[in-house]
Structure 1
Amino acid sequence: MCREGREGRGWRQCQGETFLLLGLSQGKNQQTHRHAPQINPSERRSAAVSERGRTGPPASHPCSLRGRSQPRHNAPHPAASLAGPGHPPAASRQHPGKDPCAPPSSPLGSDRDVLVCPQECLSPQQALSVVRQMQRLLAAQETAHLLVMSVLTCVCLFAETCPQPVVPLNGRMLGRSTQVGHDVHFICNAGFRLVGSETRACRHDRTWSGTQPFCRSIDDCSSNPCANSGTCVDGNQSYTCLCPRGWSGPSCQTMPHSVPPDVDECQLFQSSPQTRLCLYDCLNLPGSYRCLCPPGYLLRTDRNTCEDVNECTGKQHNCTQGDLCINTFGGHRCLRPKCPPPRHNTSYVKTSAFQCERNPCPMESRACRLAATSISFHYLPLQANRTVPRVLFKMSTTRFVGDSLRFAIMGGRGQGVFAVRRSDRQMGELVLTSPVVGPVTLEVDLEMSEFSRKVLLGKHIFKVTVFVSPYEF
């Protein structure tokens, strides 16, 4: 029979044997370990560990427990034999044929008490060894779980990336990651300022937020660095002060003792087309002059003519993704051509950035068969006051299967300055018939129809847009 040990409820003494109760909790490994009472060496038995149900073994069992067991740890606990060497099990010595500490035949519950029948008290080293063994098992399971999660996370993040951003000319990009949720930053070199989005984030739809930035040259004359009414001329990351008569030096801060008379070459020669010195504008300097160009142009090496800057090829535009950048004289345009909306059973699909093709027509739709089979978009830059007549655009077909082609102007803005003529059997031309003063935008729709024995085989629409510059160069 079992009775309380003298050291507290952690011990039970059953028919002359002493048992140690070990409780395994849910949150931590808790072990109630008390010193056993002194036992006669002749009655020592080898220790055995078994698990009981939540309510303990039946009352008839010689090692039945009174009270409720400690909460059981949720991790699996391997069975351990604590019998010392040279000591046979208790059942073989005291009670032949029956182990007083054997578990009952009833099914085991989910929470169990652990009964230890030691011949003497467990040493701290033995208890610590069991705990460490369980900790290693749990640590290995946790490490495997974390490894799988990290691999899955890496695979997922690798697939969620945005296209490589464009680094602006005369600038640089900070940040390398193009994964969703990450940012990149843009800065410009010295002498330039950023126009557009300074920071762009990779969004969940794998596109970048904001607009494509570019770097624009800083006006070095904005701080008025020239003294004594000097004129500041902006340069490439520098400036030049044009000093009035009687002053000199980098900032017009010095007055010489004697000043020779200055000749204003600009006033004398620039006003006449036959004698003018500069293509656009002239700036008088003490003893000399300087030619200037309007925005969007650069001064050529001859120092008197101007050259257009192509903002589209130099990535100095502010067009968004999906737009077409069209360079003009002195500037640029951002455009996005669109196909006409569906009408009378006729619809179009965009096959390139500049062309739309007609979808197949229903059998009974005559209006669809008479509509244009294709529509193309064309953009032309033009200087002001060009001499006329001037051929602006030529049109033809790559697959000529009929016997004749017809060309006509179908509509648009500014039709009065255009005409269409045939240059040969398979080609037509759009001709400018009158000079145009800019800035102005002209539009004209041209139709090319193909016939075979006066039967229409198909036709193509050319939508031409002309951007006339305010300058003649």
Structure 2
Amino acid sequence: MLLLHWLCDCPGRQEIQGSLKQVQKLLSSHEASYMQSLRNLKKKINLLLSSAARQNTKAINSTCPKLESPINGRKLGKSHSIGHEVHFLCDPGYELVGSESRVCQESLTWSGQQPTCRDINECASSPCLNGGTCVDEVNQFSCVCAKGWAGVTCQSPVPTFFVTMTNTSAATSPSTAAAASTLPAATTGPYVRPSRCTIVQGTTHCTCEPGYTISGRDSYTCTDIDECELFHNGQAGRLCLHACVNTPGGYRCSCPAGYNVTRDGRSCKDIDECATRINNCTKDQMCINTYGGFQCVRVDCPKIPNATYVKTSPMRCERNPCPVDNKACSHAPNSFSYHYLAVVSNLSAPRVMFRVSALRPIGDTLRFSLLGGRPVRRHFTVQRSDRLTGELMLASPVQGPATLEAEVEMSELERRVQLGKYITKVTMFVSQYEF
């Protein structure tokens, strides 16, 4: 009875075959799904490898197009690699219109717009004195003076004096009373001129050449007007940007070494010793033009224990890959970049001097900080302009001549863990002059 009961509970052959077919279908379905997932994964890996190869080739071999200096201006920065920044300045007499600096982006295009240098309207400050009319010209101006005035800015009077002479009617006959006769001069010399006097109907009229005036009670002697002393602080400012030299009947302006007098005769224009090769920099040095001079600089990669650096451009050093077990090397800066700025003395502050940006951030946070102690922080500070950019700010005006150095550290972090840091060293050459 037990045997018969057991045989009756066992499934039949057909049921077993049906179950096996269902298992076979299920395995086939899983196999197909697995193979499809594997193929999709291989495609994604291939795409990632191709993209990484393209980005690596692009980062190594590609640069942004060359930027030209604006007309009547100049460009600071020669590297066109991704992440590098180029600054623009205008010559004296011109103002910058457009982007003050441009960054080479990952798309191999420059940020911002190409700037231009626009001629400043020199007549805007009303430089012509005593009713003179200003005519604006390229990087200069000229004055059309009113009657009775002369000089570059109509600053010199052209005096006319009327002196009544005694007993002149008796010495003058009616036939010559209406005629003009020139009286003799008393004294001559470069700073003394005879006046021009005529007698008309018993009255003596005496005048001086432009730039001279009657000296005291002697109506026959004209002395030179010292325009440098008389007009050193006129309505339109000083006659000369730098130094005024009085000359017989006028004046001239002079400039310090390293500058040329501009066409208007009043201002000073910096001589670019680097462009004109008037410098003594060696082949392994870079020439940095400054206001009134130049500096020869040489960039050497820093020597840090457990880390080695190689120069990847004239002003950039990058760290070689670190061994896996060398933690000291991994904590050293990933790169050092060097930048040089030329500024005038007593530059108004606060103002942005340099920007540091991250084009391809790795972590979730960027942190910018100013390195150095109290002397550096007396002149500089660092602030954020956006999520990816830090700005080096000049905190207070600097009296030149001086050389200031600042280091900005940009750190990349992921959940407060540092992934890398990058040092930007900025050297600022301050001229002794305010132009």
Query: TM-score under structure 2 normalisation?
Result: 0.48
**Greater share of helix:** 2
**Greater share of strand:** 2
Larger Rg: 1
Query: TM-score under structure 1 normalisation?
Result: 0.45
